[in-house]
Amino acid sequence: MSHAAGQIRFADGDVYHVEYNGTTDIVGGEGIYRTPKELSDHWRIPRKACTCGQPPEVVEYWTTYGEGWLFPAEACRPCGVVIGGDPYEEMSEIEPDWLDSSPWP
């Protein structure tokens, strides 16, 4: 199973840590965490769902999977979950300058 660390950035600049499922390359259901430690503590936790009914926010999603890639996605901050995104849509291999420099879990 190929899971990798990643980060998402909201439009206001807030950065959260996520777990990318490289086995399926399906985005959605990952929890979003403020620190690498929180991500590590929740590694391989079952997928989550948005239950608040608020519209999702557009985010930039970066994963270290493979050579690393950046793509658009959506997330719900109140529920702490990535809603969805397609890693093959508008994918870029350029590492963004906003990555949190904290060590990966």
Number of domains within the chain: 1
pTM of the predicted structure, to 2 decimals: 0.83
- Six token digits for residue 19: 């777990």
Q: Give the per-residue pLDDT at 102.
A: 62
Residue 104 pLDDT grade (very low, low, confident, very high; cuts 50, 70, 90): low
The answer to whether position 22 is within a domain reads yes
Encode pLDDT of 88-99 as tens digits: 777 777 788 888
Domain extent, residue 74, equals 3-85
The answer to whether position 95 is within a domain reads no
CB 99 within 8 A of CB 75: no
